[in-house]
Structure 1
Amino acid sequence: MVILSFLFCTAALQIQEAHAQQSRVSGRVTTADSDEPLAGVSIKLEGSDVGTVTDAEGKYTLGVSRLDGWLIASFVGFKTERIALGGRAQINFRLESTSEALDQVVVVGYGTQRRRDITGSIAEVSSEELQNQPLVSIDQLLQGKAAGVQISNSSGAPGGRVNIRIRGASSVNAGNEPLFVIDGIPVYNDSKDPGGTSYGTFTPTNAMASLNPEDIESVAILKDASATAIYGSRGNNGVVLITTKRGRGEQVQVDYSGYYGSQRLIRKLDLMNGREHATFLNDWAAEGNMPIPFPDPDAIGEGTDWQDEVFRVAPMQNHQLSLSSGGGKTRYFVSGNYLSQDGIALNSSLDRYSFRINADNQINEKITFSQSIAYNRTINQAVPTNSAGSDNIRSVADKVFATSPTIPVFDENGEYVTDWYGGGKTESPIASLLTIKNRLTGDNLLGNLSLSYKILEGLTFKTLWGVNLISRSNEEYYPRETTYIGGILGGLGVLSERRFTNVLNENTLHYSTDFSDVHQLDVLGGFTWQTEEIKSTTTQPSGFPHDRFGVDNIGSASGVPDVSSSVNEWGLASFIGRANYAYRNKILATVTLRADGSTKFGRGNKWGYFPSMALAYRISEEQFMKAQNIVSDLKIRASYGVTGNQEIGNYQSLARLITSNIYIIDGQLVSGASQTSLANRELRWERAAQWDLGLDVSLFDNALNVVFDYYNKRTNDLLFEVNLPAYSGYSTALYNTGNLNNKGFEVGVGGDLNFGALGWNLNVNYSRNNSEMVSLGRSASTSLFIGYPPGVIRGYIYDGVFNTQQEIDAQSVQQGVKPGDARYRDTNGDGQLDADDLVILGSPIPDYIFGFNNRFTYKGVSLGVFLQGEIGRKEMHGMSITNPATGGSNKLRSLMNRWTPQNPDSDIPRANVSNWMGSSTYNLVDGSYVKIRNIQLGYDIPGRFIGQSRKLHVYASGQNLFTFTRDYPGYDPDGGRHYPTARTIIFGVNLGL
């Protein structure tokens, strides 16, 4: 019986297998560019040994067990393609040559160019690097992805500000942010937010957080003068070109992507508990000859962990639905997006709603009409991310640090505890965070309409009209019952609005031609103008009878409201020209000239001219390079050019008035005006002259690419605030004076490497920038030093403590000290400690920055690992948690090892130290870090499980997983000082129909 059963099962399996082999899948493989058949292409069923090769006509037939799974087509010199069977018996492949990567176009200023013909320094970030990451704004995409681009966070709050530097800071007093060009419209990442109260309560948010990253197709970063000179007066700090997605594919495609995850504090600081802080406060009081506040510290126990109370696990979710098609004469891409992010601090959040329509319509053979329109709405519930007003307002982190762990959250009556020993300007951090209203609402309409007309073969005229309409409103209220500033003023509120109306018009002629396949010429010329009007209104009421309605009923406020309004305008008119020439694809040249006329500068200096030139030599086109098969492409390039910077604000060249003066004339109050600044008709652009030497190498049939650049950029005519003599009646004025130099080198390595079924996408970049003040000119700055970068840290050298009275008696430099006091070095040896002993301690500019991005794929499984770091940066960490001189605020647990009579060998000063100096090497910390920015694990669901769907990808992703530092005492050296950054874990899905 057993034998019969075995024979029966064996026969059944053989019949089933034979039946399965009857399933056939067939198709044809051609080249992507010319549809030529490809013979000898390997066709395999993923995860099996089933495979075949194409015949002379590019055709294949493959027997499979079932019509599901994935087919893989691979051929030397072409990119591997992978297509889901999805029940289909006919699968065609169109393979893209790996050499075509050099022929793909790159977005440059006012057009595109073949990658192989680029003569300037341009870095690219593709939409593929956006996949499966919880990116709130574009700056998160750029961080660590391109050589020479440094991005630092101002805070970890939802929608928090960031600072972006391309090849270092090129200015001191003017703007240092790069110019962003979104679908052809130039915008800046400066604060578009209306102001807060006059007490410094408001922290601006990130303007780029309103742009939906999932709409982005590619990002090109223009770095050298050859690439940026086409933007003239706005190219000094680099240019970031953002291109959003457009219609593609013959069929209508519907895509959904979404994720859900949680955020939590990356690390808790090792702060004192209640018992330890009570012991510290006892010592602090004793050293100040005050009564001991805590006779029995042990009775307090652990106390309150305010980090646990203020910070929380916060959810985050994102959903995007898009519809696109590239078939026919009309291509379109339509998307809708919703993002919701709660902050890890109580009562902080960001909600964003986005909608986009991009369309291209080929009206006839000569006329093409295109549009790109996006609307975004953001609602940001903010909490203080910076302390202000002499600590009348405290940041989130400062609320945690300033509150003693010796007190509970609630008293015996269930009320929030708002006062404790040694605490100044006290308030309950929980009550204040939960009751502060700081609601920022933003609406942004960014769009353009363009019309292209093909006049002749190779000659095209294009006109573009664009608008950027921004409306931001801010509502703040600081309750009288729960906040210190509100208690002083009887409740403090503000209602403010800011509206931007930016209009752009561009008119260009583009001519491209070849001469006998030897000479190629591409010429662009045109005229553009852009204007912007900014209107602001602010009302600041105070003296509310109660907190119930806050700013929703400002009529009830009894205080005299501070009311203001303003309007600002600027305009820019420009002529642009660029010529690209190529000789046999071997000798390449680019010449650019832009003339800008700006309303921001003085009469006679409103126009500036910004030329550049670049040359490149493709050695790989020489005959002696044809015989080898290692170097696919080899190009050396050199460029020189001049760019400008106009970001100084409006009306700086004019004598400005204020109209808030009140005079008494004949016993009557009369409004008047007074002049607040001198006119400077000589005010002109900051100008940077930059040269760049570059090397581009592609190896192993373009599988591996290496880019190297060395640059030197000097900014002349810096816009400085210069001190004026007292008899002038003014303190300072803006002048062109001084020079700043940035030089350095960048290395980038990237490629797609395949080892059988294992694929490895690699992107590594390393850059080093040296910034140096060359001249201060007429400036009398006391914080800038020739030979050092801007922002250097200056202070005293900390030499430990005076451990004994004998040590004090043996020296004469510091008088009036006692054992346990801080000891500072007499650096100039004059026998006294004074300002002449201040020395340069370090710089916040890192020695070098790097990014290391990897993506591995194997049989439907993908693993991405992204590391990023900054090495060699210093910062002054003068926070209350490290300061033994103050009493009420909590301290790092390391201060338990402070000097006491029982611990005389410590190098940490005693509690209530009398000669504390915050600017010293005691507080100087190494801000170097290496972060595991992102790890993502994904899986492509096999075709048999997804039916007619094009794709179904599921993934898990972790962001900011680990940060490695050199004993950094704060939350995060990357901008998490006042609002910590979060570790984020998400689970997501991408579905294509």
Structure 2
Amino acid sequence: MKEFVRPKFTYLVFFLLLFSAIISANGQARTISLNLSKVPLNTALKTIEKQTSMSIVYNTNDVDIARTVSIDVSNVSLSTAMNRLFKGTNVIYSIVDNHIVLSTKSNSTNQQPKKNIPVNGTVTDDQGEPLIGVSVLIKGTTKGYITDIDGKFNMQAAVGDVLEFSYIGYTSQTVKLTNGQPLQIVLSEDAQTLAEVVVTALGIKREQKALSYNVQQVKGDAITAVKDANFMNSLAGKVAGVQINSGATGAGGATRVVMRGMKSLTKDNNALYVIDGVPIFNTGASGGEGQYGVNGGSDAVADLNPDDIESISMMTGPSAAALYGSSAANGVVLINTKKGKKEKISLTVSNSTTFSSAYIMPDMQNRYGTSTGLFSWGAPTDRRYNPKDFFNTGSNIINSIALSTGSDKNQTYLSASTTNSDGILPNNSYNRYNFTARNTTSFLNDKLTLDLGAQYIVQNNTNMMSQGQYYNPLPSLYLFPRGDDFDEIRLYERYSTNYGYMTQYWPYGDGGLSLQNPYWVQNRLLNTSNKKRYMLNASLKWQAADWFNITGRVNLDNSDYRNELKKYASTKTTFCGVSGGYEDEMRQERSLYADVLATVDKAFGDFRLNANVGASIYHTSMQTMGFAGDLIIPNFFALNNLNYSANYKPLPEGYEDEIQSVFANVELGWRSQLYLTLTGRYDWDSKLAYSKQPGYFYPSVGLSAVLTEMFELPKIITYAKLRGSYTKVASSFDRYLTNPGYEYDSQTHNWANPTVFPMDDLKPEETSSWEIGLNVRFWENRFNLDATYYRSNTKNQTFEVDIPSSSGYKKAIVQTGNVQNQGIELALGFTDKWADFGWSSNATFTLNRNEVKRLAGGSTNCYWRTNRNA
């Protein structure tokens, strides 16, 4: 029996409190120098921004930024420079927080004083994403506000005032204030779009220019343009540095996602999947590798409805994923799902139907006919064998309906979808039914925001193909004797008068490879899986102040499976008895995740601090119970028909894992030009129980410089950023290595002593990585280039080695190795829009060099060291 040990520690939650500075007074006190002759006003404004570290916002309808100006002042106050710059015009200015707000003078001189009322609201784009830094001005005054990172504003205005909303890259909008109801403003894209805010680790929103690592975002329409039963397959080739391989198991099969090359020689290199900031328990069932791989299956991420996905962020480097801990050592696929829109009702109905066929077949030897059995070394023949006739035309039909509705205080999203796929192999199918509900509500004057979500998924599949030799129809299909008629074996079973039931027809033997009739494999070695899954999630955000909030989240993800394998009588006796065989397994997967996150976002002087401090707990468990054996009554598939004296064995398996963590992220920005980011995380992992390692810590550091804010670059360059980062991440070794238990022999039904020498001085597998990158946009953001060079080294690989039997064990653990990955990621894009038409094109390039720098040198053998010390 295996014992689960929960790590012991007490969570420490830190709250960082800052006090605001008086920005307007500082702004007035700044001195600047300008020596400009006949330049556009826009050039003068950018120069003032750089010298004062303040941003200038205005409505493009009120300020003529193309107006030619000349000014020559030295060490004068900001007030003096602004007054001289706009002398003789109708433009006035004011300072709000760390922003210089430009507006026009009111033409009315005899207005009665107005009574101000509180005005608040949210500004978003067409997709419902909040816009940060939108200028909200009261027309004809200098009063205004700037939206925060959630797109929200809160100000004072009077009924009848006209509010002007303007933002670079979007069409300005004016709204006349009629009451104090919250406003929901949607700005449409203008000739260009600036992706200012992206979602990063733990669901934290960051300004894109502040990121010191590479995050590539893919919108939901890239997934739904051509839908696949597993939506991850739709991302192949769309993201640089990411290798996406769909499994050869059939429709709906598991997908392998590897970022920046294979890092571990012994562990899973698949990326971590995260939904709305919460990791999911992803158990991909590939069926194993090699000659004896068994039937595969789907993976947990394939259960998602692609129409529910808003966007996907690919965090290819360890620096981007460091806050997720050991699970993210191989990168993160961050999935953001849809929620209801404010003041908007939409009903979406969609259908996607695609067909597939076998595209390329192996080159077949058709010159010589049958010699004997499965061998084709006989006399020359004119018969032409084409195994493509064995394959069907596959289909994938996805139907979806979604309802989005909401008010300013409450938004709801509901959806349902069906996915029905038939593979290109006979009798291979995949079906899934998704039901999703999500509700977001705010209360207590928007101080509290509650987000509740639920998903229920019913999924089943039949005959996911094995990638090995067993349970795979392809070896016998491709080796079929060239001189024989393939149509003869299409009738794969025939009635036997000796047995009294249908038996397999395959007159060629197994060729020493346990081969069978390919039609029999697909129709009489039935592998089915039925799954029911539900996911419940909740988050509560408390906006304690405009610069400080606390968010708590919890997510429950449970799945129940029933997997059956029915082997009909006359199946090759390598797999079962004469009367057939049966396997019936029940499987439960349970996952509970909870975290708390405190966020500080505060500007003071030339600096802006964005800090996150939190703690999390992630508990996962898996339990299976089942039985397998030969049948007594042929083709009667029931547990009470198993022959307990012939190949009978129970199928128990299970484990529990838990990771408890504290983490912090600090980002310090200077003049919106230079950003320094530091992260740290400490994990207590249950796999480390009984070892000398209580846990492990890994840090990261990054620096981002916005070159277009620091220097005058050629006009063709709209935006340029140089970035670099360094990080260390770690992942635990396999469970039970430090405390191996008794081992059960399913053949003899006896317990045996452990065969692996217990180790207590193992180290987590460690990856050190650095990267540098350049992000450039040209010609008013019509063309963009993202380039990254990276290098990572993974050490402390864990291997089993043979040891003398005199030790009482068969195996010991060795930790060694150094696997290096280095390469280049390039992403190119071109976008342009006109009045009624727009188009975009993207291309990616990836170069990765994987090298084993050291395999055995400097290895640590705990067995020999323990015995030597003794």
Write the distance in 1 (CA, Å) between the matches of 2:314 and 2:777: 20
1:132 and 2:225 correspond: yes
1:728 and 2:816 correspond: no
- From the superposition, tell whether residues 489 and 283 of structure 1 become closer, same or farther in structure 2 (CA, over 3 Å): closer
- From the superposition, tell whether residues 409 and 758 of structure 1 become closer, same or farther in structure 2 (CA, over 3 Å): same
Contact residue 591 and residue 612 of structure 1 kept, 8 A: yes
Contact residue 339 and residue 412 of structure 2 kept, 8 A: yes
1:638 and 2:727 correspond: no
Write the distance in 2 (CA, Å) between the matches of 1:408 and 1:396: 14
**Residue 852 of structure 2: which of 756, 773, 782 is its match?**
773
Write the distance in 1 (CA, Å) between the matches of 2:616 and 2:785: 36
Write the distance in 1 (CA, Å) between the matches of 2:331 and 2:490: 59
- From the superposition, tell whether residues 251 and 153 of structure 1 become closer, same or farther in structure 2 (CA, over 3 Å): closer
Write the distance in 2 (CA, Å) between the matches of 1:452 and 1:774: 47
Q: Which amino acid aligns with 1:571?
A: E
Q: Which amino acid aligns with 1:524?
A: N
Contact residue 545 and residue 557 of structure 1 kept, 8 A: no
Write the distance in 1 (CA, Å) between the matches of 2:62 and 2:245: 49
Aligned to 2:822: 743
Contact residue 534 and residue 569 of structure 1 kept, 8 A: yes
Report the 3-state secondary structure (helix = DSSP H, G, I; strand = E; otherwise coil) of the residue aligned with 2:418. strand
Write the distance in 2 (CA, Å) between the matches of 1:466 and 1:635: 36
Aligned to 1:103: 196
Deviations 1:491-512, CA, capped at 9 Å, x for gaps? 1211112211111110111111
Deviations 1:283-337, CA, capped at 9 Å, x for gaps? 9798xxxxx7x7xx76xx63764431x2111332110000002432111211101
Write the distance in 1 (CA, Å) between the matches of 2:212 and 2:453: 29
Deviations 1:426-484, CA, capped at 9 Å, x for gaps? 53222332222110112222231111112223111111111111222210011123556
What displacement does 1:113 show? 0.7
Write the distance in 1 (CA, Å) between the matches of 2:304 and 2:490: 49
- From the superposition, tell whether residues 550 and 166 of structure 1 become closer, same or farther in structure 2 (CA, over 3 Å): same
Write the distance in 1 (CA, Å) between the matches of 2:779 and 2:583: 63
1:694 and 2:790 correspond: no
1:595 and 2:682 correspond: yes
- Identical aligned pairs, as a percentage? 22
Aligned to 1:508: 597
Aligned to 1:651: 736
Aligned ranges 1:880-959 → 2 under 5 Å: none
Aligned to 1:927: none
Report the 3-state secondary structure (helix = DSSP H, G, I; strand = E; otherwise coil) of the residue aligned with 2:200. strand
- From the superposition, tell whether residues 185 and 563 of structure 1 become closer, same or farther in structure 2 (CA, over 3 Å): same
1:183 and 2:276 correspond: yes
Report the 3-state secondary structure (helix = DSSP H, G, I; strand = E; otherwise coil) of the residue aligned with 1:109. helix
- From the superposition, tell whether residues 688 and 35 of structure 1 become closer, same or farther in structure 2 (CA, over 3 Å): same
**Residue 404 of structure 1: which of 481, 484, 508 is its match?**
481
Deviations 1:886-939, CA, capped at 9 Å, x for gaps? xxxxxxxxxxxxxxxxxxxxxxxxxxxxxxxxxxxxxxxxxxxxxxxxxxxxxx
Deviations 1:612-637, CA, capped at 9 Å, x for gaps? 11111111012534xx4311111111
1:616 and 2:696 correspond: no
- From the superposition, tell whether residues 269 and 456 of structure 1 become closer, same or farther in structure 2 (CA, over 3 Å): same
Write the distance in 2 (CA, Å) between the matches of 1:325 and 1:446: 22
- From the superposition, tell whether residues 452 and 479 of structure 1 become closer, same or farther in structure 2 (CA, over 3 Å): same
**Residue 604 of structure 1: which of 676, 692, 697 is its match?**
692
Write the distance in 2 (CA, Å) between the matches of 1:384 and 1:642: 39
Gaps of 5+ in 2: 1-56, 65-138, 140-165, 173-184, 495-503, 861-870
Write the distance in 2 (CA, Å) between the matches of 1:619 and 1:674: 64
Aligned to 1:527: 615
Write the distance in 2 (CA, Å) between the matches of 1:457 and 1:701: 33
Write the distance in 1 (CA, Å) between the matches of 2:234 and 2:643: 47
What displacement does 1:739 show? 1.3
What displacement does 1:146 show? 1.0
Contact residue 243 and residue 258 of structure 2 kept, 8 A: yes
Deviations 1:392-448, CA, capped at 9 Å, x for gaps? x24132131133241444489994641138845453222332222110112222231
Aligned ranges 1:141-152 → 2 under 5 Å: 141-152=234-245
1:362 and 2:453 correspond: no
- From the superposition, tell whether residues 579 and 680 of structure 1 become closer, same or farther in structure 2 (CA, over 3 Å): same
Report the 3-state secondary structure (helix = DSSP H, G, I; strand = E; otherwise coil) of the residue aligned with 2:516. coil
- From the superposition, tell whether residues 113 and 378 of structure 1 become closer, same or farther in structure 2 (CA, over 3 Å): same
What displacement does 1:183 show? 1.7
Write the distance in 2 (CA, Å) between the matches of 1:342 and 1:282: 33
Contact residue 695 and residue 709 of structure 1 kept, 8 A: yes
Q: Which amino acid aligns with 1:134?
A: K
1:433 and 2:522 correspond: yes
Aligned to 2:404: 324
1:231 and 2:336 correspond: no
Aligned to 1:170: 263
Aligned ranges 1:688-837 → 2 under 5 Å: 688-754=767-833, 759-777=838-856
- From the superposition, tell whether residues 649 and 303 of structure 1 become closer, same or farther in structure 2 (CA, over 3 Å): same
**More divergent stretch after superposition (682-691 vs 93-102):** 93-102
Q: Which amino acid aligns with 2:404?
A: S
TM-score of the superposed pair, with normalisation by structure 2: 0.72
Aligned ranges 1:834-845 → 2 under 5 Å: none
What displacement does 1:193 show? 8.8
Aligned to 2:429: 349
Aligned to 1:240: 333
- From the superposition, tell whether residues 450 and 194 of structure 1 become closer, same or farther in structure 2 (CA, over 3 Å): farther
Aligned to 1:418: 506
Contact residue 703 and residue 753 of structure 1 kept, 8 A: yes
- From the superposition, tell whether residues 409 and 247 of structure 1 become closer, same or farther in structure 2 (CA, over 3 Å): same
Q: Which amino acid aligns with 1:762?
A: S
Aligned ranges 1:69-84 → 2 under 5 Å: 78=169
Gaps of 5+ in 1: 1-32, 41-56, 58-74, 82-91, 287-291, 664-669, 782-993
RMSD of aligned alpha carbons: 3.4
Deviations 1:141-172, CA, capped at 9 Å, x for gaps? 33111111111233161122322111111111
Write the distance in 1 (CA, Å) between the matches of 2:767 and 2:369: 57
Contact residue 592 and residue 613 of structure 1 kept, 8 A: yes
Report the 3-state secondary structure (helix = DSSP H, G, I; strand = E; otherwise coil) of the residue aligned with 1:208. helix
Contact residue 755 and residue 810 of structure 2 kept, 8 A: no
Contact residue 326 and residue 332 of structure 1 kept, 8 A: yes
Contact residue 531 and residue 560 of structure 2 kept, 8 A: yes
- From the superposition, tell whether residues 410 and 417 of structure 1 become closer, same or farther in structure 2 (CA, over 3 Å): farther
Aligned ranges 1:844-855 → 2 under 5 Å: none
Contact residue 717 and residue 776 of structure 2 kept, 8 A: yes
Write the distance in 2 (CA, Å) between the matches of 1:497 and 1:251: 44
Aligned to 1:978: none
Aligned to 2:668: 581
Write the distance in 1 (CA, Å) between the matches of 2:195 and 2:490: 73
TM-score of the superposed pair, with normalisation by structure 1: 0.63
- How many residue pairs match? The answer is 677
What displacement does 1:251 show? 2.3
Aligned to 1:682: 761
Aligned ranges 1:55-70 → 2 under 5 Å: none
Aligned to 1:307: 388
Report the 3-state secondary structure (helix = DSSP H, G, I; strand = E; otherwise coil) of the residue aligned with 1:147. coil
What displacement does 1:211 show? 1.8
Aligned to 2:91: none
Q: Which amino acid aligns with 2:352?
A: Y
- From the superposition, tell whether residues 733 and 427 of structure 1 become closer, same or farther in structure 2 (CA, over 3 Å): same
Contact residue 501 and residue 532 of structure 1 kept, 8 A: yes
Contact residue 247 and residue 332 of structure 1 kept, 8 A: yes
